[in-house]
Chains A and B, each alone.
Chain A
Amino acid sequence: MRRLWEIVMGRLSVDRPSPALKQLPTAVAFAAATITAISVPSILITSPYAVIVGSVFMTIATIVALYFTRQVTYDRWWALIVPGLSLTAIAFLRVGTGGITSLFGSLIILPMVWIATERGRRWIAVSMFGASAALMLPYVVNWRAPADASEWLRGVVGPIVYGITAAIINEMSRQSRKQYVAIRDLARQREALLDEAMAGAQALAVNEERLRAADRLTRSVLDAVTEQAVIGTDLTGLIDVWNPGASVMLGLAPDETQGKRYMFEFHLEEELEARAKELSYPPGATVLNPGFSALVESARLGRAEVRDWVYVRNDGSQLSVSVAVTPRSDEQGVTIGYIFVATDVTQALEVSRLKDEFVGLISHELRTPLSSILGYLELMRDDEESPLSTEQMQYLGVAERNAHRLLRLVGDLLFTAQVSSGRFPLDVSLVALGDVVNASVISAKPNAANAGVDLVLDGSVKSIVVRGDAVRLGQACDNLISNAIKFTPRGGTVTVSVGTNAEDAIITVRDTGMGIPASELDQLYARFFRASTATRNAVPGVGLGLTITKAIVTAHEGELDVESEEGVGTAFSLSLPLPRKVAA
């Protein structure tokens, strides 16, 4: 009941009541008054016609109210015709039930409230005049002026009271409307905020799902890596990521290591100490712990590093690994830990060892028969009892030359195998570079003369001294000069020069040969690579000379550069650091 009251009164007050609903109290009160007037004998009906006219007006008012209610849109101003008609109906009811003495004057307040609740102060006046007109109608119908002061008071003071009431209602209505608008705005804001919150929640859910998917992907990738150990640590080396590959490699499950073990526990102490020494850590230096710092030194500086280490398994056994260390960063780019990706290289090392062994064996097996060939050829040449004819000596020379060629090839193969396996010892001392180059030029002279190439040593070079292996540097010079002669047509020139710049000694071997296509320059130092100009012109060789030269230069911390133009010539520059640079 209370709820019904709230709904009806609420709708009648501010919630855009329909004209029919607004008219309802008036129509009901009018009907009740009319029935009361007819049924109560003490109430005198002075003019039945006026009552009938009043009822007709009220009926029309109610019908008009219903009409406006049925319209989807209507003009509020025109709708005010309904309380106007109601006031008229009440005025006629008053006329029919005693005129100015009628009991039903108070009904006027109902349509008056309707008018007074309209927006704008002018409706206070309208409602007041409407009420006054309704009160004055009995005087108009009876065609007489108020007889005494009390009648004047009734006709004039009454409307004033109604006017004050209308003003109060109008103001209250205005306040209510204001509050209603404020509440409606708040409700809209609340709805907007709610929508925003919902959208935020949805976005959050989507992001959460994305994060979960990314996490699943990362986990599945980590789990899929079974041949490599992927281990993550924080800045102190405490393990927090341990993939199945790590479990297989080191014999511990993730729950045995994550948050419990430190990375350096899986390393050989002596290896960590040696690395710390290599990095010149002062004795007793502790950046958390020196062993771990030695492990992540490059990664700590933001660089990835790949290095060979020995891991110690849980059962104490050891295995050789190649470990790539990279830093882990948070969203601000601050390093929060490290990732270690370890690959078991035991097998690779074994393969490399077997390869070296094989190359050594092959080399031995080739050198032994070559020893016989060259030895017996020499015996034939030296045989004084039955000397060879000139022609036979020529044939012998060809056989010897080719045997020596084969021997050089075997030597080169053995040397490249040593380079690739890292076994490349240098017998370092101070070397007079001029002597080395001079010796190479002198030993290449006969070759150059045979090929019809002019071999020139440009300028004086005796004063330049570098630190290096004289034999290997001589080998590098021999290779460059021999190549230049091979690639230079008869009548061309090979110029060898030695000079220095601020930091390096530079040997340059320049020829006027066939040149190397620009597209092939970056492959020159690959094993067994032969330039197309070499194969096209049937220049002998197997493609090891430059590989060896490059390896020698690199081992001396030098550089080998080439400039070439097809059909014009090639210049190789071999730079070696001068002693003060090495000392620095």
Chain B
Amino acid sequence: MTETSRQPRVVIADDDADIRALVAIAVDRAGFDLVASAEDGTQAYAAILEFRPDMVVLDVSMPGMTGLEVSRLVRNDIALDDTMIVMLSAAVDEQSRDAGFEAGASHFLSKPFSPRELAIRLSDLMPAS
């Protein structure tokens, strides 16, 4: 129980269920604790407020609120200062990447992604203690 509580807690959000499942697998392989899987921005923000996770993996284009809007709300909340935001987007151009960082993303990863590589990247970003 104590060991489980040391695992980084992660909230993921993507409007595509298949991608959500794929990200969930990567999170699991990285040895993280997936606390919530949201299908839109509003659900994602609610889950973040509820679970105060260590990491959020956000899709950019989502109904309700976009990943960028969720990111801005998180960054405006002092209580969520330590939350790492990983943006996952199908857009690969410089402007989209810049927009992600401006909205407060810590990292920007593009789709399509390899679940294997995503797991490695996530664990590199936040080594499980």
Contact = CB atoms under 8 A, between A and B. Distances in A.
Given A364-B61, A376-B18, A376-B22, A407 B112 contact: yes
B91 A379 contact: no
Given A378-B115, A382-B116, A371 B93 contact: no
A368 interface: yes
Contacts of B18: 372, 376
Contact of A371 (B61, B90, B95, B116): B90
Interface residues on A, range: 20 to 34
> Which of B16, B95, B114 is most buried by chain A, counting CB atoms within 10 A of its CB?
B114
A424 to B, nearest CB: 10
B80 interface: no
Contacts, number: 55
Interface string A136-159: 000000000000000000000000
Interface in A356-371: 360, 363-365, 367-368, 370-371
Contacts of B94: 425, 427
Contacts of B114: 374-375, 378
A414 interface: yes
A212 to B, nearest CB: 58
Q: Is the interface of B mostly helix, strand, loop or mixed?
A: loop
A414 B92 contact: yes
Interface in A330-375: 360, 363-365, 367-368, 370-375
Nearest to A376: B22
Nearest to B94: A425
Contact of B91 (A360, A370, A371, A382): A360
A418 B92 CA distance: 12
A411 B18 CA distance: 22
Nearest to A415: B93
Interface string B59-76: 001000000000000000
B6 interface: no
Interface string A418-462: 100001010100000000000000000000000000000000000
A337 B114 CA distance: 64
B111 interface: yes
A411 to B, nearest CB: 7
Interface in B99-116: 111-116
Contacts of B113: 371, 375
B93 A372 contact: no
> Which of A375, A376, A425 is most buried by chain B, counting CB atoms within 10 A of its CB?
A375
Contacts of B90: 363-365, 367-368, 371
A387 to B, nearest CB: 16
Nearest to A426: B94
B19 interface: yes
B35 interface: no
Contacts of B116: 378, 382
Contacts of B120: none
Contact of B19 (A368, A378, A382, A407): A368
Contacts of A376: 18, 22
Interface string A391-416: 00000000000000001000100100
A372 B115 contact: no
Contacts of A427: 94
Nearest to A371: B112
Interface string B19-38: 10010010000000000000
Contact of A375 (B22, B61, B91): B22
B33 to A, nearest CB: 21
A427 B94 CA distance: 10
A422 B92 CA distance: 17
A371 B22 contact: yes
A368 B16 contact: yes
A375 B111 CA distance: 10
Nearest to B15: A368
A379 B25 CA distance: 9
A208 B53 CA distance: 89
A371 B25 contact: no
A367 B93 CA distance: 13
A414 B90 CA distance: 11
Closest 8 CB pairs of A and B: A371-B112, A367-B90, A372-B18, A371-B111, A364-B90, A375-B22, A374-B112, A370-B112
Given A367-B112, A368-B111, A382-B115, 8 more contacts: A364-B90, A365-B90, A371-B113, A375-B115, A376-B18, A411-B92, A423-B95, A425-B95
20 contacts: A360-B91, A364-B61, A367-B111, A367-B112, A368-B16, A368-B111, A371-B19, A372-B16, A374-B112, A374-B114, A375-B22, A375-B113, A375-B114, A376-B18, A378-B114, A378-B115, A379-B115, A407-B112, A411-B92, A425-B95
